[in-house]
Structure 1
Amino acid sequence: MKKWTPLHEAPEPLEGNVVATITGGTVIWFVLFLVQLPFYGWFDDHGHLWWLWAPLAGGGLGLIGIWYVRKRDEAIRRAAAARAADGAEPAHPA
């Protein structure tokens, strides 16, 4: 098992505009669904109907993701404001 153990520390997580990233991905999923919708009959005839429903599921999960990352960002901002009000240093530099 030792040969699979990393010899270096894990890098810091990348932070960016997560809300915009998730929103963009969600829009892409819904566009893929709408683009494929006119071909419903072809998908049904060839047994590929899941190709139509997969992007719809991705868009639905993306809506949950948007809700989640917005709440996460709000919680991070509240925690940073509370630390600033207490005069404490931030846990990690942003």
Structure 2
Amino acid sequence: MELRDDQPMQHEIGNRTYIVADVDPLDVDGVRTVEVGSALWLLGFLALLPFYGELEANGRVWWLWACLAGFGLGLFGLEYCRRRRKARAERDGLDHG
């Protein structure tokens, strides 16, 4: 899909007309999203830790390890997003260390 400046400003679907707002796209690099997601996985791990015995008795210890894995993968994702943000800033001539 190629974005062009001559896109229609309104669409008619059925008997309704939808107007397209002239809005600039957000420049989202994903760093904050991955930070929040990683923090939530860590919070889940810490919240389940006191219940280790009960999780083990019910065969659900994997919940604990899934949270830890989510946090670990989030750290990799965070590093990826930070490097991507830095590369984009260098490409565009900006300095967002």
Shared fold per TM-score greater than 0.5: yes
1:16 Cα deviation after fit: 1.9
Q: Within 5 A, what are the aligned runs for 1:24-39?
A: 24-39=36-51
1:50 Cα deviation after fit: 0.2
Please state if 1:68 is matched with 2:85: no
Q: What is the aligned counterpart of 1:46 among 58, 73, 78?
A: 58
* Percent identity between the two aligned chains: 42
Please state if 1:59 is matched with 2:71: yes
1:10 Cα deviation after fit: 8.1
Is the contact between residue 45 and residue 64 of structure 2 (CA under 8 Å) also seen in structure 1?
yes
> Could you report, residue by residue, the CA deviation over 1:28-75 in whole angstroms, capped at 9, with x for unpaired residues?
000000000000001111111101110100000000011000000000
Larger strand fraction of residues = 2
CA distance in structure 1 between the aligned counterparts of 2:31 and 2:2, rounded to whole angstroms? 24
Q: What is the TM-score with the length of structure 1 in the denominator?
A: 0.70
Q: Partner of 2:60: helix, strand, or coil?
A: coil
Unaligned runs of 5+ in 1: 1-8, 83-94
Q: What is the TM-score with the length of structure 2 in the denominator?
A: 0.68
CA distance in structure 2 between the aligned counterparts of 1:56 and 1:49, rounded to whole angstroms? 11
Larger helix fraction of residues = 1
Q: Give the aligned length.
A: 73
2:75 maps to a residue whose letter is L
RMSD, aligned α-carbons: 2.2
Unaligned runs of 5+ in 2: 4-24
Please state if 1:23 is matched with 2:4: no
